[in-house]
Amino acid sequence: MKVRSSVFASVILILEVIGVALFLRGFFPVPVKSSVSSNSKLSDLPAEPLTGGSHNASHSPQPLFKRVVIMLVDALREDFVFGPSGRTYMPYTRHLVERGPTHSFVAKARPPTVTMPRIKALTTGSIPGFIDVVMNLNSPALLEDNLIWQAKTAGKRMVFYGDDTWVRLFPKHFMEYDGTTSFFVSDYTEVDNNVTRHLDSTLKREDWDILILHYLGLDHIGHISGPHSSLIQPKLMEMDDVLKKIHGSLISKEADGALPYLLVLCGDHGMSETGSHGGSSEAEINTPLVLISPAFKRKVGLEKPGTVEQVDLTPTLALGLGLPISQNSVGRVIPGVLEETPLRDQLRFLHLNGHQLSCLLKDSVSEYEKDAGFEQFRVAEKSHGSWTKLYLEGNTSEVLTNLGKKVLKQYLEALAAMSAALSKQLGKYDMYSMIAGMVFVFQLLLVLLLAMPEALSGAAEVELPVLPALLSLPFYLLCLLLASVHVLVCTSAESSCYFCSLSWAFVFAAVAFSSGMFCILVSMATRRLPSGPKIPGKSPLRSSGGGEWTLSELDVLLLAGTVGHTLSLAASSFVEEEHQTWYFLLNTLCLAVFQDVCRKYFREHRGSREEEEHFLPSKDCRPSVHPQAPLCSEKWLALATPPFTLACCRLLRSLNQTGVQWAHRPDMGHWLNSSEHKVVLSLIAAFSLALIYYLIQRRCSWVSKIALALGLLGVYSYRAAVGNVVFPWQHWDRNMSKGTVEARFVYIFVLGILFTGTKDLLRSQIMTVDARLRSRGLWEIYSGLVLLVCLLFRAHNLPVLCCCLLVQTLMAQFIWKNLHYDAAQTTIMHYWFGQAFFYFQGNSNNIATVDISVGFVGLESYVEAPAIFLTALSTYAGPLLWACHLVCYLSSERDRSPVAVAHGCYCLALLRSVPAAAYIVLVTALRYHLFIWSVFSPKLLYESMHMLLTAGVCLFFSTMEQRHTPNTS
């Protein structure tokens, strides 16, 4: 069966996406959970240890607090409270920390530091799986045992105001609630006012036991302008006033003899230096935890806050309210909260916490008896029994006190050890699904590699022996073998496997596919053997006249760079600082291109055309019938293009600091975004938009040119409306708006340009075969995409887009065409440039650098599909623009063979498949690495998303490929 190269590459990529999705389902582990399906109950609490007698089941400690108020400030960094700026930003809170009845801690949040997983951690005490980053966009109801469910079951009356993620996670749990959309980050005022407006009436009432407030404004300010914005201090002072109001109300209602209140101030995660979150930097994982209650001793001065895990709050609140601890909690009670309670109650609280952790340890670790924490807990439990016996006998000697202190210490050590052991068991990998996905991906990659000679041939068609493979005996034997392995694995597996839970129809399809691919691989490999028949004219590499393949110096560089980058992904430091790899490769590429330019023009000057052709041949460029000598200006422009590209790259590197090691250092982006330099940013943005118009309007129709000009004017108006730039007549101190009208104004012109380009494409392919009309349609679609990216980019990033278009124009006009680079070389260069510009935007392999605010440009409320699309487009704008430019360039060049587009599509698919396949092997081998969740897992998500987008681009390639008849002469 013959298949066009572009279609073949697109299908392979789509199937690889399915294989990677199966691998992801197995790799991102299910969090540690108890095997007991029902939730914890008060009746299930263990008896108090007692040596030499019947168990004393009667003693259950009384609740420590009558009312609890949880004030959760989204993205509250610990230095906002405990740092030097805390006295200015939150003076009342800081006074309580230093002089009030409080306990203060730095609570460490585990990555991923995004809201929904952190809420899960705070309410269940478990460490959510990393895949919860994806689920953060659409939070389903939480069915796992949690603090909110326990409180409702115990009859606690709960009121909630704030982030509607809580309402989605806990439907029908709150007596009263008012949720606000958490994803509309342009709003940082009304989103908090909607919470505070309920406070006065709610605090006066007596009909609630737990009040939860989740403020989002600080997080939204971080996403908009970062942690050093002038908006931060007013917002923190507003939060300080809210806490003062709550604390004053609780004090006024305090009654003698009644149980005290507890006021909790905490954050779900911190905020990086760029204002985002999701990663594992200190600024993102360190959050303040302030517990305020008259049950605590008053402080006499500022003490250094202790360090606890964020999940430790769950058992502390549960025991403080007299509730069972959630079954899946890995947290341990905070000892300071129990200091003022009787020793018997302290030991009982620690025993309950230890019993819950030991039960979870039994379900999570096969040899739990050998665990040091479990052994310590058993020893402490026996000592506790002896202490209880002495206590009940009325012993009041010093022996009882010393033994009690010893038991207390034993419990604390056992809790710490068991909690640490459970935290290491983040989850159980589904190795069967991982291996199945890995096998699928590698089978497809090998087919892609074996098809290279045919895919890059003059015919650009791949011969796939599908029918012979399906009719062969090995195919049916492999089906039986794989089906048997599947049954064996699924019946003997101790833990659940996703692949085993699929229906037999899907399993049979997967087995048949894998068996068929193996037979196809064997058949294609046999044809490639030296003894096999040679296919004339189907060598993808250039021949020097004999039968052997040769590589130019540029080919060696491109291959070595691609392979070297793939190998570098095995090191965590190279993953964290991957931008350095691409910057180095891009600089080296520019120098190599400059060498080729010098060879061409200076050798031509000496009349050595034969040597020039030896170094710069091309297999898919049609030779010109009447070659013309290059103009003098064209020669010097070609010579200047590589150095100019190097200068642009160096400038863009200083615009956005990225990676991990130097991300905190100030850059040009921070300087431009400061309020003092708004005029400079305005001038740069205006100049960039004008240059963007000049660069992309040349190939558009006059209607699209007008729409493009008005759209770019709308982009500047939108940035002026949201306060990033200013018009000359605009007052700086005017109130900012959301810019919704201006953004929708731009969307209208984007849709108009895309419609015009699509209409021209359809006319050129259906009604009449017109290459010029088709080329114009492609460039108009590209112009519409550029206009949309202009709207989504931050104002200081517009020079990145401007340099991208400028480099594309210069390289296309003076380098790729004049030096006769073939489609494969041009594709690899486009890919390298796209990867470098991904990091020039300020992106990294850290989830925290994803700018989610662009998902709400022009939207009044959160709409999931547009938000995801706009965020993905903005994040991958660099690779997408270079890939789309590659389609337009290869399709519109008249001197190129009709198969150039097919060659480019195949090379792009290969460039994306090789690192993705290699990386899933690396993360499998490194799945127990120290940095697997903080470094390698986010990169895996980026690789998967990049592959999905590349599959879409390759589909566009295949539709744009010209139908052609192979040359048989």
- What residues are paired with 261 via a beta bridge? 67
The mean pLDDT of 151-159, rounded to a whole number, is 93
Lowest-pLDDT range of 181-185, 430-434, 508-512: 181-185
Confidence of residue 450 (pLDDT cuts 50, 70, 90): very high
Cα distance between residue 647 and residue 640, in whole Å: 11
In this prediction the pTM is 0.77
Residue 182 pLDDT > 70: no
Residue 533 pLDDT > 60: no
pLDDT value at residue 727 = 85
Q: From edge to edge, which strands make up the β-sheet containing 176-180?
A: 176-180, 158-163, 210-215, 67-73, 261-266, 286-292, 102-108, 306-309
State whether residue 884 is helix, strand or coil: helix
Task: Give start and end residues of each alpha helix (H) in 876-899.
Answer: 877-892
**Selected residue with higher pLDDT from 464 and 51:** 464
> Can you give 827-854 as a three-state secondary structure string?
HHHHHHHHHHHHHHCCCCCCHHHCCHHH
- Are 774 and 891 in contact, with CB atoms under 8 Å apart? yes
Running DSSP on this structure, what letter comes out for residue 65?
A: -
* CA 587 remoteness from chain centre: 28
Residue 934 pLDDT > 90: no
- Are 31 and 128 in contact, with CB atoms under 8 Å apart? yes
pLDDT value at residue 131 = 60
* CA 740 remoteness from chain centre: 26
The mean pLDDT of 133-138, rounded to a whole number, is 53
Residue 879 pLDDT > 60: yes
Q: Which two tokens stand for residue 137?
A: 């966009």
**Kind of pairing between the strands at 549-550 and 102-108:** unpaired
Confidence of residue 504 (pLDDT cuts 50, 70, 90): confident
pLDDT value at residue 304 = 87
Cα distance between residue 405 and residue 809, in whole Å: 76
Question: How large a percentage of the chain has pLDDT more than 90?
Answer: 48
Cα distance between residue 353 and residue 202, in whole Å: 33
Cα distance between residue 21 and residue 19, in whole Å: 5
**Kind of pairing between the strands at 427-428 and 549-550:** unpaired
pLDDT value at residue 896 = 73
Cα distance between residue 322 and residue 41, in whole Å: 11
Cα distance between residue 231 and residue 88, in whole Å: 14
Question: pLDDT (tens digit, 9 = 90+) per residue, 695-721?
Answer: 998 888 899 999 999 999 999 999 998
Lowest-pLDDT range of 49-58, 764-773, 801-810: 49-58
Cα distance between residue 209 and residue 232, in whole Å: 32
Question: pLDDT (tens digit, 9 = 90+) per residue, 316-343?
Answer: 999 999 999 998 899 999 999 998 899 9
Cα distance between residue 920 and residue 17, in whole Å: 12
- Are 117 and 28 in contact, with CB atoms under 8 Å apart? no
| Residues contacting residue 299 through CB under 8 Å, at least 6 positions apart | 97, 98, 99, 100, 101, 102
pLDDT value at residue 395 = 81
Question: pLDDT (tens digit, 9 = 90+) per residue, 737-756?
Answer: 678 899 999 999 999 999 99
Residue 445 pLDDT > 50: yes
Burial of 952 (0-12, 13-18, 19+ CB in 10 A): middle
Burial of 848 (0-12, 13-18, 19+ CB in 10 A): buried
- Are 169 and 139 in contact, with CB atoms under 8 Å apart? yes
Burial of 615 (0-12, 13-18, 19+ CB in 10 A): middle
- Are 317 and 68 in contact, with CB atoms under 8 Å apart? yes
Question: pLDDT (tens digit, 9 = 90+) per residue, 380-412?
Answer: 999 998 998 888 888 878 888 899 899 999 999
Residue 539 pLDDT > 60: no
The mean pLDDT of 199-215, rounded to a whole number, is 93
pLDDT value at residue 546 = 40
Cα distance between residue 94 and residue 80, in whole Å: 10
- Are 347 and 404 in contact, with CB atoms under 8 Å apart? yes
Q: Nearest 5°: phi and psi at 103?
A: -125, 130
pLDDT value at residue 817 = 84
* 163-164-169 Cα angle (round to 5): 115
| Closest CA relative to residue 732, chosen from 675, 797, 796 | 675
- Are 886 and 826 in contact, with CB atoms under 8 Å apart? yes
| Residues contacting residue 769 through CB under 8 Å, at least 6 positions apart | none
pLDDT value at residue 733 = 52
pLDDT value at residue 440 = 94
Residue 967 pLDDT > 50: no
- What residues are paired with 289 via a beta bridge? 105, 266
Running DSSP on this structure, what letter comes out for residue 812?
A: I
pLDDT value at residue 201 = 93
pLDDT value at residue 163 = 87
Residue 545 pLDDT > 50: no
Confidence of residue 129 (pLDDT cuts 50, 70, 90): low
What is the b/e burial string over 142-169, where b = at least 16 CB atoms within 10 angstroms of the residue's CB?
bebbbbbbbbbeeebbbbbbbbbbbbeb
pLDDT value at residue 620 = 58
Confidence of residue 540 (pLDDT cuts 50, 70, 90): very low
pLDDT value at residue 100 = 92
Cα distance between residue 725 and residue 226, in whole Å: 17
- Are 571 and 577 in contact, with CB atoms under 8 Å apart? no
**DSSP result, 41-98:** -GGGPPPBP-TTSS-B-S--PPPS-SEEEEEEETT--THHHHSTTHHHH-HHHHHHHH
**Selected residue with higher pLDDT from 521 and 142:** 521
Cα radius of gyration rounded to whole Å, the chain: 32
Cα distance between residue 878 and residue 923, in whole Å: 26
Average confidence score pLDDT of the chain: 85
State whether residue 108 is helix, strand or coil: strand
Question: How large a percentage of the chain has pLDDT more than 70?
Answer: 87
Cα distance between residue 538 and residue 663, in whole Å: 48
The mean pLDDT of 806-831, rounded to a whole number, is 92
Cα distance between residue 207 and residue 377, in whole Å: 40
The mean pLDDT of 590-597, rounded to a whole number, is 93
pLDDT value at residue 400 = 87
The mean pLDDT of 252-271, rounded to a whole number, is 88
Lowest-pLDDT range of 83-87, 502-506, 662-666: 662-666
